[in-house]
Amino acid sequence: MSFAEGEALPPLDIDLAPLKTARTEAQPGPHDPALSDHANKIRELSQELAGQPQLLALHGLLIAHLRRRAQPAHCAALFLRLWREEADFLLENLDARWLVSAVTTFADHGATEVQRRLGHGLTVLFSTMKLYETERLHSGTEPWQPFPELNRRPRKLALEMDRYSIHGGGLDANMLGRLWEEARQDALIWPLAQHLLVRLDRDDRNVFRRLQQMRRANGRDPVREARSYIRMNDPEPDEMVVSTSRVKKQTDPEQLRWGLVTTARAPLAQIARFAAYHLDLGAAQMDLYLDTPDEDAARYLARDPRLRVVQCDAAYWQGMAEPRPEDHRARQQRNAQASYLASDLHFLGHIDVDEYLMPPLPVAELLAHLPPRCAALQFHAAELLAGSESAFKLTPQDVGHDRRALAAAYPQFGEHLKGGFISHTIGKCLARTGLPGVQVGIHRLRRDGQVVRNTAVVMGGYLGHAHARSFEDFLQRLDFRMTRGSYRKREDDFGLHDVFRIIRAEEGEAGLRRFFDACCADSPGLRARLERYGMLFTHPLELDAKCRRIFGQLPEELPA
């Protein structure tokens, strides 16, 4: 955009306060070729925003410059400053069209990866809506009126896509929910994005509101909705199948009771947050086996009657049929099996204290509507990015890619990472109780040493695994995991054990940090690569809030 001699944008440190009270005066006249582009744009904006605060005119002028190929060096910084310091004023005074223009400007000139990515996402959303809603005006139906159900045609969509399941699908909610959750990660763009999404939700002239009306008109089908998130496995003839015919099925989500069992070797702060998260999720009962007995922890956890705490002390193991196993995994299985055999729940799952169920629907709804022949529901794993409380990575297989996506997401180490994780990818399951002869394994239900195959997998939901919260956490646990844990050497395979051994020998701690930063730590670059392949999953854990809600206070807040 051209400037005439003496023309310029206001400086970056301009005092914004007077611009909120001073009014824009209209400059009469049409576009004048004799004037600079800058001057003509000021004239155009003065006519559109006549009588409104000058801050709005400045905002519009900055957007106009930022849409051009080149602009003054401080233009983007001044635009971001307006939103940093005057977001409330802008949201109160700008109309929706200018707010959409603002979020589009964030797409190209945001200061962070989240701002740019969210700006692009919202721009694509609003642009697609504009195209569709414009075409729909030719249908003869008002923008707020849903199409009659009887008019539906049984046709494939473009690119051979199946039609969206209006009554059972969650695409619309997931699309908007993902944008909402991503916006919460950046304090600068959050007010603008939140405002636009709320306005969209309240406006009845868009496809999202019409879909809601169509659902209400026809009623919700909870069975269909739940089963849209469930993929039943198809066992081979020689694979293990366990009969569920003698197990009474509870198909009412309000009556169904599910729970968890864990053997915990962790500080009370971690155990409490783990327990609170799942109680808040709807667990009817949780069996917490304290591998290292702790009376203070037991007293704190006893605040909620849904928690059954077992101190795994010498007396506990002496009362068992067999002595205490040396291997911690064997102790986990022993405790899980004891809980399973004694359980009066409808479903029981074994997970660890650094794992969190992240279902697409309430857990009880998924379990109540499982096919009757299904023995267990498996949640595939999602690995938490270190330093985040909401960003998880998925395996390529879970989103329909092959191993080539690993090399793109993790350029230096992808070929050595199973699914891109440094922890397990299998996940964990919730098993029907009362099944004859089964054993609760670490990851799956088994019988006679074989994996039970008449199970289902959750689609769109995962087991979040906070395997390494930080590099220091990773380093502290490395030796144990290399010798007895998840990184131990497995037969002749070249795996993580070998990768870490070689890096440690050649580069020491610096090399391990290089690996961790490239593959595990939350960063804009890793998020962008994961999202490019659909391998980024966002789910805020909100552990502190849930812990306070369940127990009244965090363990750290207890008086000394």
* Mean pLDDT along residues 509-527: 92
Confidence at residue 220, expressed as pLDDT on a 0 to 100 scale:
65
What percent of the residues of the chain are helix, what percent strand, and what percent coil, each to the nearest 5?
A: 45, 10, 40
What domains, with CATH codes, occur in the chain? 125-220 (no CATH), 258-468+520-555 (3.90.550)
Task: Tell which wins on pLDDT, 398 or 89.
Answer: 89
Q: What number of CA atoms fall less than 13 Å from residue 400's CA on the CB side? A: 5
List C-alpha distances in Å: 479 to 313, 326, 484, 530: 25, 17, 8, 29
Is residue 312 pLDDT above 90, yes or no?
A: yes
Residues 383/530, Cβ–Cβ less than 8 Å: no
Mean pLDDT of 537-541: 94
User: 154 vs 229, which has greater pLDDT?
Assistant: 229
Residues 7-13: what's their mean pLDDT?
Answer: 96
User: Is 522:401 a contact under the CB 8 Å cutoff?
Assistant: no
The pLDDT tens digits for 355-400 are: 999 999 999 999 999 999 999 999 999 999 999 999 999 998 888 7
**Interval 464-481: pLDDT, tens:** 999 998 999 899 888 888
DSSP 411: T
Q: Quick one: pLDDT at residue 218?
A: 67
| Residue 219 pLDDT exceeds 70 | no
Of 29-33, 239-243, 256-260, 485-489, the one with minimum mean pLDDT is: 485-489
The torsion angles phi and psi of 496, rounded to 5 degrees, stand at -60, -35
Residue 410 to residue 420: CA distance in whole angstroms: 7
Q: Please state, rounded to an integer, the average pLDDT across all residues of the chain.
A: 92
Strand intervals (E) in 134-218: none
Helix (H) or strand (E) holding 516: helix 496-519
CB 1 within 8 A of CB 65: yes
* Per-residue pLDDT tens digits for 424-452: 889 999 999 999 999 999 999 999 999 99
- In angstroms, the CA 217 to CA 451 distance is 44
Average pLDDT score over residue span 321-333: 92
Phi, psi of 127 (to 5 degrees): -65, -40
Question: pLDDT class for 153, splitting at 50, 70, 90?
Answer: confident
Q: Model's pTM, two decimal places? A: 0.63
